[in-house]
Structure 1
Amino acid sequence: MPDLFDKFQPLIDQYEGLMASGMRDPFHLKMEKILSPTRAVVDGREIILVGTYNYMGMTFDPDVIAAGQKALEEFGSGTTGSRVLNGTYQGHAECEAALRDFYDMDHAMVFSTGYQANLGLMSAMAGRGEYIVLDADSHASIYDGCAMGNADIVRFKHNSVEDLAKRLKRIPEDAGKLVVLEGVYSMVGDIAPLKEMVAVAKEAGAMVVVDEAHAMGFFGENGRGVFEAAGVEDQVDFVVGTFSKSVGTVGGFVVSNHPKFDVLRFVCRPYVYTASLPPAVVACAATSIRKLMHAHDKRAHLWAASRKMHAELRAAGFTLGTAEAESAIIAVKMPDQERSAKMWAALIDEGVYVNMVPPQATPGLHLLRCSLCAEHSDAEVDEIIARFKRAAAAAGLPLST
């Protein structure tokens, strides 16, 4: 009899081979205590966190924590219902109001996760006879949202304006079209040329979605994302985002100025058929979002730290995913899976946590992914760089010179 797990055997073999070599498991690390946005305890030792996506360091903000505690006491631990039934509390409305103010848009819709926000929007907005045009490197949640719907899917080469234009020209002129872009691509931290891509999409008569999950909080004058920095705010139809990065909690959202937007509350299955976020979570999110509107100093510090770490790792001989710091994500390329695991383990031994990207996420590319936080001090950034150099020596990683 066939075993339905057989199709996963190559991945199982790869993982078991990694573990058989005596390496520490990079995918089941337990953080015993979180001390701050930049520090945790692992195996009884304090480590510096450089792989959490906690870009703006809001997880320990006193106002955010106080808002969550107050909501927990006043509204209880959960809603036990969908947003369209009993699951919309005062806090959900306040969170959506905070999003409307932050993005200066007319409509906002909060989902239980960022993944579900993409799942809901993509599956609802384009159906049979319509087209979704997306970057080949789009996030899994975007691809899965496309798979849920019945639209025709057209992929274009990563960040290629020319290929996007070519693909759009092949689509019937009168067909409905949705172009899906990301401000920052999370694998290597590169940004999309949104100004040019949005222009091409609009010329073809397409609606545009920009996922700003990894850009909210620190791109643009108001921290709205790459689309704000690119000056295309009035041309983007939908912005998707998450609370699990810069906002510092969990949840997802879509914002828009489209006058018919609210019908999505009845047609997005991941919104209609999922229990809503707990009151404490939306209270934390609303407070965090409102504080991010005025976090200019934090934004400036995060950019300075990211540029410094990127430049110094390159100067030390590390091969990075981008030629310069395009975001707060710094992806360090490894020669192969074995040395990626060795380097990750050596960094843990040095007291630094980074993400070792699972092999199925970036086929043919082995990455250790760093993400800096606005709460990393200058001294911590210097220490991270020094520990990277020591870990490379310990792991026997050849560095280019």
Structure 2
Amino acid sequence: MSDETGPGTGGDLFSKFDDIIALREGLLASGQEDPFSLVMEKVLSPTRAICNGRETILLGTYNYMGMTFDPDVVDAGKQALEDFGTGTTGSRVLNGTYQGHKECEDALREFYDMDHAMVFSTGYLANLGIISTIAGKGDYIILDIDSHASIWDGCAMGNAEVVPFKHNDIEAMEKRLKRVPEGAGKLVILEGVYSMLGDLAPLKEMVAIAKKYGAMVLVDEAHSMGFIGENGRGVVEAEGVLDDVDFIIGTFSKSVGTVGGFCVSNHPKFEIMRLVCRPYVFTASLPPSVVATAATSIRKLQHAGNKRGHLWENSKRLHKGLTDLGFQLGTAECQSAIVAVIMPDLEKGAALWEALLKEGLYVNLARPPATPANMTLLRCSLCAEHSDEEVGTILGMFERAGKATGII
């Protein structure tokens, strides 16, 4: 530990971050633009923004269905802002439930055809709240090791026994379930689409095994809602296990196009969660304009088959095009709207990220510890509003930047 001391402390509480501070300073010392501090000066559409004074194609926003500028969605938000003001200034269990919150939950129940829906202020809070509340001391959580940070934090907050297994390894999951003591509460946590590489979980097999051992199942569908499945209900729908899972967690900040989180369930006792789930009870509820946009967007996503089809076309074309150019991708086949390009190291990744930005293309630079197996990734996420022409332009940008940086 560092010998440096801060005012009134016995040591520097920031010393634990010295390695990451040095890494960041090393990147910036070479004149590299900070890839984690980009400012969008003006957003023009779901696929375009002004960054560093120039028009830039957005390929890293998770705006999968392009709902952020949908006229009906925007109008609903404006109307709610006029009718109900800017915020609730209270928790859902006190003064923070407006008519719009109930309508948003109605839209979710209808979308998933489930009995219960609970809206949280963010997707992170949805995982944090549901997991920490249903699995506590003495219970066991069996989860994929590549699970999102919000899932891990929910596990830690609930103080359950956490038993991870190798990513998407069905046998490893079953081995862990076999070892759980008889009579203990069991929760299996999976994701439909894993956000770093864009790969899918084998939910059909995994859910069947979880049920065989009497476990409840929670599936996070943040990156598949609205897009995957005949009605956009996610991988659970595509794999035919919608009725077998106990909880589906999702977010409004991806396909829905705003901010917020939710859980839907058919469990007969689910409504008690509104009184016992701390991240729901002890935080202010979403502003009326946000839930109005979310409800409108969710209802439109029910009938967005054409947009889903176009997004699949975009995703498959980009995946194939980058593979043909010689880039190494996170999946052999296109499985979702996330296309992850694997970089040799962080320096090369940052260089290609900057070269693409200068071309007029924004993608996400993802680095350890957020990424699996210490990989550095340039993560692309397609949007249903990307035109055929834009996808062609994107491939040209990748080719030029890839050659200029020596990646291909």
> Shift of the alpha carbon at 1:358?
3.5
Deviation at 1:361, TM superposition (A): 1.1
Pair 1:223 & 2:210 matched: no
The total of aligned residue pairs comes to: 398
Cα deviation, 1:286-341, whole Å, max 9, x if unaligned, reads 00000000000000000011001101100110000000111000000000111101
Q: Are the counterparts in 1 of residues 59 and 361 from structure 2 also a CA contact under 8 Å?
A: yes
Match of 1:383 among 383, 393, 400: 393
Give the one of 288, 297, 304 matched to 1:288. Answer: 297
Query: Residue 111 of structure 1 contacts residue 252 of structure 1 at CA under 8 Å; is this kept in 2?
Result: yes
Supply the AA of the counterpart residue of 1:367: L
Question: What are the ranges of 5 or more consecutive residues in structure 1 without an aligned counterpart?
Answer: none
What residue number does 1:32 align with? 41
- Work out whether residues 341 and 377 of structure 2, in 8 Å CA contact, stay in contact via their aligned partners in 1: yes
Q: For residues 216-254 of structure 1, give each alpha carbon's deviation from its aligned partner in whole angstroms, at most 9, with x where no partner exists.
A: 001100000000000001100000000000000000000
C-alpha distance in 1, partners of 2:367/2:35?
A: 9
Structure 2 gap segments, 5+ residues each: 6-10
1:346 to 339, 355, 358: 355
Measure the CA separation in 2 of the matches of 1:72 and 1:257.
32
SS in 2 for 1:234: coil
Letter in 1 for 2:230: E
**Whole-Å Cα distance in 2 between the matches of residues 306 and 153 of structure 1?**
35
Distance 1:136 1:173 in 2: 23
| Offset from partner CA, 1:266-294 (integer Å, 9 cap, x none) | 11100000000000000000000000000
Query: Which residue among 160, 166, 169 is the counterpart of 2:175?
Result: 166
Q: Secondary structure of the residue that 2:40 maps to in structure 1? A: coil
1:367 has 2:377 as partner:
yes
CA–CA distance in structure 2, aligned partners of residues 350 and 366 of structure 1: 21
Q: Which residue of 1 aligns with 2:200?
A: 191
Aligned to 2:252: 243
Q: Give the structure 1 partner of residue 14 of structure 2.
A: 5
AA aligned opposite 1:364: N
Aligned twin of 1:201 = 210
Matches within 5 A, 1:2-401: 2-362=11-371, 364-397=374-407, 399=408
Partner amino acid, structure 2, of 1:360:
P
Cα offsets for 1:126-178 (capped at 9, x unmatched): 11111111100000000000110121111011000000000000001311100
Over residues 193-231 of structure 1, what are the superposed CA-to-partner deviations in whole Å (9 max), with x where a residue is unaligned?
000000000000000000000000011000000000000
Moved more, 361-370 or 153-162: 361-370
Q: With structure 2 as the length reference, what TM-score do the two structures score? A: 0.97
Amino acid at match of 1:388: F
Does the CA contact (< 8 Å) of 1:173 and 1:204 recur in 2?
no
Aligned-partner SS, 2:262? strand
Say whether the 8 Å CA contact 2:367–2:374 is kept in structure 1. Answer: no
Indicate conservation of the 8 Å contact 2:65/2:255, yes or no: yes
Provide, for residues 80-104 of structure 1, a one-character-per-residue CA deviation record: whole Å limited to 9, x for no partner: 0000000000000000000000000
For the 8 Å contact 1:106–1:257, the answer to whether it is kept is: yes
Aligned residues: CA RMSD: 0.7
Displaced runs of 4+ in structure 1, greater than 4 A?
A: none
How far off its partner does 1:396 sit?
2.1
- Of the structure 1 ranges 148-157 and 112-121, higher mean CA displacement relative to structure 2 is found in 148-157
Cα offset, 1:44, TM superposition: 1.4
Q: Could you tell me whether the CA contact under 8 Å between 2:275 and 2:281 is conserved in 1?
A: yes
Code of the aligned partner of 2:273:
L
CA distance in 2, matches of 1:134, 1:359: 20
Whether contact under 8 Å (1:130, 1:152) holds in the other structure is yes
Deviation at 1:372, TM superposition (A): 0.2
Q: Deviations over 1:354-382 (max 9, x none)?
A: 00014331262010000000000000001
Contact 1:111–1:251 (CA<8 Å) still a contact in 2? Answer: yes
Secondary structure of the corresponding residue to residue 374 of structure 2: coil
How high is the TM-score relative to the length of structure 1?
Answer: 0.98
Q: In structure 2, what residue type is equivalent to 1:389?
A: E
CA contact (8 A) 2:194 2:200 kept: yes
**8 Å CA contact 1:71, 1:280 repeated in 2:** yes
